A and B are shown apart, each in its own frame.
Chain A
């Protein structure tokens, strides 16, 4: 169990709803759910969620901390915003899902091998490095996410697409070397560092 997780368990004891309200983005909305199930019915991935949003909200209220935070469910959200548009109680469900995923990740409880989580991590690391996404590095990173041989296989599969993009000037193979940083990437690093400091202080994540 991570340090932060221990701290949070200690701090909130059994009141998981309060913990969510204090630490999860838009978490203060969870209590307003009236269990109509429109979100779950509207979700294009609805049938594939282990616990659809409505159920997650109920689990939070029932104090099922481990089950919620270790769940793969909120990582299923594709930000289509159907649920937000339809929720009769106007809950920002998409944002809550991302908030929950983020919180679970910060606590180190999020499922390690969840593909969404891994891609999100890859993307974040890629973008903060140069202040801009290096698409070539990102896609190659994605291909090799599940090991070397898988990466080679996927790379070969995508070869015709890549060649086509290269021919039309959509892909620069030297991007692999140059990195394509933006101007003042160092300043961006500073800004992100400061932002993280503020967030940690505000949410009590700082050690």
Chain B
């Protein structure tokens, strides 16, 4: 790095010129920051300001740029220079907007600004302009695992967009569960009658499309590589394996029905006239519009009872704990099979809560119009016999009642077909959080050769991990997207929408990978992690902690970064005890030098310093928004954005405390089951690491209150500044750190 040439630019716009002594900041950048080129500008993000910087880059050879203006989240386009390392000193949102405009506050405000300029210069000296990941692949073919309605839709959508598709289905025909339906829940106006499944049409479309290659009776027996360069073995049932190169993967492996035999009290397995919803579809297909006959004696069915939530939403932990979402609409649809062929058939739906998402409410109304009776109640027992007796408690009338029926349909739930649970300890009988409902599966779907396990990680109840609001298709394996009921319970229409979204995500991942760029949430990021092999102790923390399973181990047991699988969160960097992992523009040094560059007043100055390490996804924007709302916080805080709290290496805390900081606040996202962390596990891992910081503090004879880790959401606009102020108050109470030299 001999030829680092730093250019520091101080903006005087947005009130910075009036509030701050910019000339002094320029001096700081020059003398302390070692910037060779320093300039101030009235309005830096204007055309003139930007071209001034550009000119310096071109003519003066400036290759490291410090922009002392607004937050790094603002004006990203104006200040987006290629091939230079850029650091942003946040003087607007970080200083003048959060400090009072008074004469008394002027001194500390100026000190704050000067520190941010120092930090910007320090950061940029340790940065490199990111170069593209060199080991990226260019394959853009899309593999879809599962040929149900989700997989078929994904295949058609991806092919329509011009991508080559490989569709792998383990059975001998495409269509999955939906192909077994008589009709499906309506997806368009007037939502009044069941509609055709549409599977044959999709099948013809796939057949006619040259870009789609279908593998029937096949499974995926090995998946290795990374986005843009997956290598996948597709094995035929009859033997024979073909190896294919793939760009990205969609996992649409669907669901199984909850086993009706586990519900003997509801007649499951005790009578042929007690069927699950799939069983009724079979009967309806056999009847094909004619009156439906019952399985035991072929008698025309005159009365039928639908039992909702059979083995679902079970609080006892014996069956499925969750609601499968589609079953109410499905029962409504199935009751219509009877009513449409003969309005005199008694159809009774016994429910505890009728949940008809989307336009299901219209469908429900239509069923009521057709004369389907809905009873709010809980079924306790189905007594088998020539005439089945359904014993239930009417929850409206608070009354025990018995309904007689020729046929009973149990609305059992969906169990995700998500492969093996890679997080479960070996031999563990149940999937985490699922209850006794369903045993852990032993058959893998993807057979990944990843160090962290064969399949996608699960979130709960055996469904694939995905954030259902913020990033529903994302899994914790880059370039592999799940869609359909393997992700969460859903009906055919939702699966179609889901599959379309997943197809787009898969295309995006393959395209990004081909350019050597990161996928969500740092999409477009060109930096990638590297490690200093000589320093590595092979402790495996990085390979174990990577939330995305990006790091494998090579033959010599050194970490092997699969850059294209990496999401650039830096959790590996935070984990590394010997600090050998770094990114070009983000490393232990970029942050370490920043926090050490701060001017540290002595112990008797009554000017404490608080280091705030804020997650760039939620906490830092929350602070920015607080600034926009002019919510003030302590002038003693110095905020450094981090990619994820998971990237925080404990050395930073150590360094901060030994260099005299009086308090350290770590702001990350919510962890746990309802996580908000953009890197899923980052904040959780960070909190685990920080739980051990108390010993370090005691070892240094410092109060444990000096380090605080908290969960901050992007909406915590009032709370985030309050947390900083609370730390300032705490320090006032316990006194300044004695570690200032």
Q: Could you tell me the distance between the alpha carbons of A35 and B401 in the complex, rounded to whole angstroms? A: 18
B397 touches A32 (CB 8 A): no
B354 touches A55 (CB 8 A): no
For window 400-425 of B, CB contacts with A under 8 Å fall at 401
B354 touches A58 (CB 8 A): no
A31 touches B365 (CB 8 A): no
Contact of A58 among B365, B368, B396 (CB under 8 A): B396
B397 touches A34 (CB 8 A): no
Known A-B contacts A61-B373, A61-B375, A62-B375; A31 and B368 likewise in contact (beta carbons under 8 Å): yes
Q: How far is the CB of B417 from chain A (nearest CB, A)?
A: 34
A133 at the interface (CB under 8 A from B): no
Known A-B contacts A54-B396, A55-B396, A59-B397; A34 and B374 likewise in contact (beta carbons under 8 Å): yes
Interface 1/0 per residue, B337-375 and A, CB below 8 Å? 000000000000000001000000000110011010111
B689 at the interface (CB under 8 A from A): no
B42 at the interface (CB under 8 A from A): no
Q: How far is the CB of A100 from chain B (nearest CB, A)?
A: 17
B281 at the interface (CB under 8 A from A): no
For window 5-55 of A, CB contacts with B under 8 Å fall at 17, 31-32, 34-35, 54-55
Q: How far is the CB of B389 from chain A (nearest CB, A)?
A: 16
Q: Could you tell me the distance between the alpha carbons of A138 and B394 in the complex, rounded to whole angstroms? A: 44
A32 touches B373 (CB 8 A): no
Interface footprint category on B: 10 to 19
Interface 1/0 per residue, B373-409 and A, CB below 8 Å? 1111000000000000000001011010100000000
Contact of A31 among B373, B376, B396 (CB under 8 A): B373
A32 touches B368 (CB 8 A): yes
Residues of A within 8 A of B376 (CB): 35, 58
A89 touches B365 (CB 8 A): yes
Q: How far is the CB of A26 from chain B (nearest CB, A)?
A: 15
Residues of B within 8 A of A61 (CB): 373, 375
A-B contacts at CB below 8 angstroms, number: 33
Q: Could you tell me the distance between the alpha carbons of A64 and B396 in the complex, rounded to whole angstroms? A: 13
Residues of A within 8 A of B354 (CB): 34
Q: Could you tell me the distance between the alpha carbons of A31 and B533 in the complex, rounded to whole angstroms? A: 74
A55 touches B397 (CB 8 A): yes
Q: Could you tell me the distance between the alpha carbons of A143 and B722 in the complex, rounded to whole angstroms? A: 72
Residues of B within 8 A of A35 (CB): 374, 376, 396
Residues of B within 8 A of A89 (CB): 365
Residues of B within 8 A of A59 (CB): 397
Residue of B nearest to A33 (CB): B368
Q: Could you tell me the distance between the alpha carbons of A32 and B374 in the complex, rounded to whole angstroms? A: 9
Residues of A within 8 A of B375 (CB): 58, 61-62
Residues of A within 8 A of B399 (CB): 62
Q: Could you tell me the distance between the alpha carbons of A59 and B394 in the complex, rounded to whole angstroms? A: 10
Residues of B within 8 A of A62 (CB): 375, 394, 397, 399, 401
Residues of B within 8 A of A64 (CB): 397
Q: How far is the CB of B472 from chain A (nearest CB, A)?
A: 30
Residues of A within 8 A of B368 (CB): 31-32, 34
A17 touches B396 (CB 8 A): no
Residue of A nearest to B396 (CB): A58
B364 touches A34 (CB 8 A): yes
Q: How far is the CB of B473 from chain A (nearest CB, A)?
A: 34
Q: Could you tell me the distance between the alpha carbons of A1 and B83 in the complex, rounded to whole angstroms? A: 97
Q: How far is the CB of B395 from chain A (nearest CB, A)?
A: 9
Residues of B within 8 A of A54 (CB): 396
Residues of B within 8 A of A34 (CB): 354, 364, 368, 374
Known A-B contacts A61-B373, A62-B375; A32 and B365 likewise in contact (beta carbons under 8 Å): yes
Residue among A17, A58, A59 with most chain B CB within 10 A: A58
Residues of A within 8 A of B365 (CB): 32, 89
Residue of A nearest to B354 (CB): A34
Contact of B371 among A31, A55, A58 (CB under 8 A): A31
Q: How far is the CB of A160 from chain B (nearest CB, A)?
A: 48
Residue of B nearest to A37 (CB): B396
Residue among A31, A54, A64 with most chain B CB within 10 A: A31
Q: Could you tell me the distance between the alpha carbons of A197 and B414 in the complex, rounded to whole angstroms? A: 58
Residue among B369, B373, B375, B396 with most chain A CB within 10 A: B396
Q: Could you tell me the distance between the alpha carbons of A62 and B364 in the complex, rounded to whole angstroms? A: 19
Q: How far is the CB of B406 from chain A (nearest CB, A)?
A: 16
Q: Could you tell me the distance between the alpha carbons of A64 and B399 in the complex, rounded to whole angstroms? A: 12
Q: How far is the CB of B136 from chain A (nearest CB, A)?
A: 55
Q: Could you tell me the distance between the alpha carbons of A137 and B401 in the complex, rounded to whole angstroms? A: 50
Q: Could you tell me the distance between the alpha carbons of A58 and B377 in the complex, rounded to whole angstroms? A: 11
Q: How far is the CB of A139 from chain B (nearest CB, A)?
A: 40
Residue among B368, B371, B376 with most chain A CB within 10 A: B368
For window 571-615 of B, CB contacts with A under 8 Å fall at none
A17 touches B369 (CB 8 A): no
Q: Could you tell me the distance between the alpha carbons of A59 and B397 in the complex, rounded to whole angstroms? A: 7
Q: How far is the CB of A71 from chain B (nearest CB, A)?
A: 13
Q: How far is the CB of A99 from chain B (nearest CB, A)?
A: 19
A58 touches B364 (CB 8 A): no
Q: Could you tell me the distance between the alpha carbons of A199 and B360 in the complex, rounded to whole angstroms? A: 38
Q: How far is the CB of B80 from chain A (nearest CB, A)?
A: 52
Q: How far is the CB of B240 from chain A (nearest CB, A)?
A: 56
A58 touches B394 (CB 8 A): yes
Q: How far is the CB of A82 from chain B (nearest CB, A)?
A: 20
Q: Could you tell me the distance between the alpha carbons of A35 and B395 in the complex, rounded to whole angstroms? A: 11
Q: How far is the CB of B413 from chain A (nearest CB, A)?
A: 23
Q: Could you tell me the distance between the alpha carbons of A54 and B394 in the complex, rounded to whole angstroms? A: 13
Residues of B within 8 A of A31 (CB): 368-369, 371, 373
Q: How far is the CB of A189 from chain B (nearest CB, A)?
A: 41
Residues of A within 8 A of B374 (CB): 34-35
Q: Could you tell me the distance between the alpha carbons of A54 and B376 in the complex, rounded to whole angstroms? A: 12
Q: Could you tell me the distance between the alpha carbons of A35 and B399 in the complex, rounded to whole angstroms? A: 16
B396 touches A32 (CB 8 A): no
Q: 7 new A-B pairs (CB below 8 Å) besides A31-B371, A61-B375, A62-B397?
A: A31-B368, A31-B373, A55-B396, A58-B375, A58-B394, A62-B399, A64-B397
Identify the A interface with B (CB < 8 A): 17, 31-32, 34-35, 54-55, 58-59, 61-62, 64, 89
7 example contacts (A-B, Cβ-Cβ < 8 A) are as follows A31-B373, A32-B368, A54-B396, A59-B397, A62-B375, A62-B401, A64-B397
- CB-based closest 6 A-B pairs: A58-B396, A32-B368, A31-B368, A35-B376, A61-B373, A58-B397
Identify the B interface with A (CB < 8 A): 354, 364-365, 368-369, 371, 373-376, 394, 396-397, 399, 401
